Amino acid sequence: MALDALHLASAEKAGADFFCTCDDKLSKKAVVLAEAGVRIVSPIELIGEIGEMEK
């Protein structure tokens, strides 16, 4: 989880809206980690979000 924390912190610092991962363990912690201001999503969810943003 240490690298996950580093990656998430980097995404937050960069101002990312989304953090895309295939890691099921990390995805399950998404509610807690979303407090960092970055939505944790799967690749499929990210594609859907991008599609919605383009409308």
CA–chain centroid gap for 6, Å, is 13
pTM over 0.85: no
Domain boundary assignment for the chain: 2-53
- The string of pLDDT tens digits covering residues 21-45 is 888 887 777 666 666 678 888 999 9
Check residue 35 and give its pLDDT: 67
Q: How far, in Å, are 7, 23, 44, 50 from residue 16 at the CA level?
A: 11, 18, 17, 13
Residue 43 token pair = 């690749």
pLDDT of residue 14: 92
Q: Write down the mean pLDDT value for the chain.
A: 82
More confident residue, 35 or 48: 48
